[in-house]
C-alpha cells in the first residue's frame, strides 16, 4: 500500500461506535483501522461522527452530511440498538434502515464499499440482567438483525454478525462500569468478528 493513498474510512453509528466510556484508541473503529494497517491495508479513520443515543433517523439527519463532505472510500454502518431499545416498530425500522442505505449509497463512489454490523445481544449484559431479562427485547433484536441481513443481501453488502459473540460476553470485564457498554476487551471481541469481513471488502481498494 506504500504506492497508494490510504483508504478513507468513516463509521456511522451510536454509542457502540463512538466508544462510550473507553479511550479513543480502544474505540471499535480505531481498533479496526489499526488492525487493518498492521495487516498491510493502508487505511485512515477520517473522523467519527457517531453520538451516544443516536437512532437510524439521527444517523440519516446528522451523520450522512459527513459522508457528503468528506467522501470516504469505505463506511461501516453500526446503528439500530437504540431503535430496538425503544421498541420502535419493525416496519418503521426497516423503512428507515433502507432509507439510510439508499442515501448513503448514492453518496459513495462505490456503493458496495459498505459493511453492515448487526445489533449485539445487550440482554446478556450485566446491567440488563440485573434489571430483569426481557425476552421481548431479545426477540426484537433477532428480528432487527434479520432485517439488517436481508437488506444487506439484497444490496450485495457484506454483514459482520457480532450477535453470536455478544451472547458469550457475560463477564463484568467485557463492559465498562455501567455494565452495558463494552470495555476495551469487549470491543476487541467484536472487532475479531468484524475484521475479516472488512478485510475482504477493502483488500482490493
pLDDT digits (tens, 9 = 90+) for 64-88: 999 999 999 999 999 999 998 876 7
Q: What is the pLDDT of residue 56?
A: 97
Predicted confidence band of residue 156 (pLDDT cuts 50, 70, 90) = very high
With 50 as the cut, is the pLDDT of residue 2 above it? no
Residue of 8 and 88 predicted with greater confidence: 8
Q: Rounded mean pLDDT of 4-23?
A: 96
Q: Do 118 and 190 touch, CB atoms closer than 8 A? A: no
Q: Is 188 exposed, middle or buried (0-12, 13-18, 19+ CB in 10 A)?
A: middle
Predicted confidence band of residue 204 (pLDDT cuts 50, 70, 90) = confident
Provide the whole-model pTM: 0.95
Nearest-CA neighbor of 137 among 182, 88, 191, 171?
Answer: 88
Predicted confidence band of residue 137 (pLDDT cuts 50, 70, 90) = confident
Q: Rounded mean pLDDT of 3-24?
A: 95
Lowest mean pLDDT among 44-53, 85-94, 160-169: 85-94
Distance, in Å, from the CA atom of 107 to the CA atom of 67, rounded to the nearest integer, reads 7
Distance, CA of 201 to chain centre: 15
Predicted confidence band of residue 135 (pLDDT cuts 50, 70, 90) = low
With 90 as the cut, is the pLDDT of residue 94 above it? yes
Residue by residue, DSSP assigns 131-148 as: H---HHHHHHHHHHHHHH
* Share of the chain residues as helix, strand and coil, in percent rounded to the nearest 5: 55, 10, 35
Q: Is 25 exposed, middle or buried (0-12, 13-18, 19+ CB in 10 A)?
A: exposed
With 90 as the cut, is the pLDDT of residue 173 above it? yes
Pick the CATH number of 7-202 from 3.40.50.1110, 3.40.47.10, 3.40.640.10, 1.20.120.160: 3.40.50.1110
Give residue-wise pLDDT tens across range 17-49. 999 999 999 999 999 999 999 999 999 999 999
Number of neighbouring beta carbons within 10 Å of residue 81 = 21
Distance, in Å, from the CA atom of 190 to the CA atom of 28, rounded to the nearest integer, reads 8
Nearest-CA neighbor of 21 among 168, 125, 124, 119?
Answer: 125
Amino acid at each position: 500500500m506504500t504506492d497508494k493513498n490510504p483508504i478513507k474510512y468513516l463509521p456511522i453509528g451510536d454509542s457502540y461506535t463512538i466508544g462510550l466510556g473507553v479511550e479513543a484508541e480502544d474505540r471499535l473503529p480505531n481498533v479496526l483501522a489499526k488492525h487493518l494497517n498492521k495487516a498491510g491495508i493502508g487505511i485512515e479513520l477520517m473522523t467519527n461522527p457517531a453520538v451516544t443515543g443516536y437512532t437510524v433517523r439521527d444517523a440519516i439527519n446528522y451523520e450522512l452530511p459527513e459522508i457528503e463532505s468528506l467522501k470516504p472510500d469505505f463506511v461501516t454502518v453500526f446503528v439500530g440498538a437504540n431503535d430496538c431499545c425503544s421498541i420502535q416498530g419493525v416496519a418503521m425500522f426497516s423503512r428507515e434502515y433502507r432509507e439510510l442505505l439508499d442515501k448513503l449509497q448514492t453518496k459513495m463512489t462505490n456503493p458496495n464499499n459498505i459493511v453492515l454490523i448487526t445489533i449485539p445481544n445487550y440482554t446478556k449484559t450485566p446491567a440488563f440482567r440485573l434489571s430483569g431479562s426481557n425476552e421481548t427485547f431479545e426477540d426484537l433484536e433477532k428480528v432487527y438483525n434479520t432485517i439488517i441481513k436481508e437488506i444487506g443481501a439484497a444490496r450485495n453488502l457484506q454483514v459482520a454478525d457480532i450477535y453470536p459473540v455478544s451472547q458469550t460476553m457475560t463477564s463484568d470485564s467485557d463492559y465498562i462500569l455501567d455494565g452495558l457498554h463494552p470495555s476495551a476487551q469487549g470491543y476487541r471481541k467484536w472487532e475479531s468478528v468484524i475484521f475479516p469481513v472488512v478485510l475482504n471488502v477493502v483488500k482490493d481498494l
